[in-house]
Amino acid sequence: MGRRKGNAVEGFRVLTLTYRVDEMPSEQRERLVELFKRYRAVAALYFWSKRLGLEEGVEQALERARELVPYYWRKVFDDESPLYAFNDVEKMKRPRKHVLKLP
C-alpha cells in the first residue's frame, strides 16, 4: 500500500460523490452506473497489468479506455497527468498468489 498522509493514503485516489445516486433521475443514474462499471473494468485491467509487468495488458487497457471512458476520466491513466491514479503500482511487491474472480 501507499504511505499515509493525514487521513489519506498516498498512491491511491478515491472518487467521492457529493449526492446520493439513488436520488438522481433514473436515466442519469443508469448512465452514471454504466460509466462506473466500464471505468472499474478498465482500471482493474490497467492496475493488474502494471502490477504484474504485462505491457500488452497495459496497452489493451489504454485502448479500451479510449473506446469506453470519457476524455476527462482517461486522464487517470496518463502517468504525466496530476490526476494519475496509479502511483507506485509498479513499485509494489509482486503478489506470489492471487485469485481472480472472473464471471
Query: Quick one: how far is CA 33 from the chain centroid?
Result: 15
pLDDT band at 73; cut points 50, 70, 90: confident
User: Would you say the pTM of this structure is higher than 0.75?
Assistant: no
Query: Would you kindly state where each structural domain of the chain is located, as residue ranges?
Result: 4-77
Distant-in-sequence, close-in-space partners of 47: CB < 8 Å, separation ≥ 6: 86, 89
At 2-59, the pLDDT tens digits run 454 555 444 445 556 566 778 888 898 898 889 889 988 998 898 888 888 889 999 9
Contact between residue 42 and residue 68 where contact means Cβ atoms under 8 Å apart: yes
Residue 80 C-alpha cell reads as: 504525466
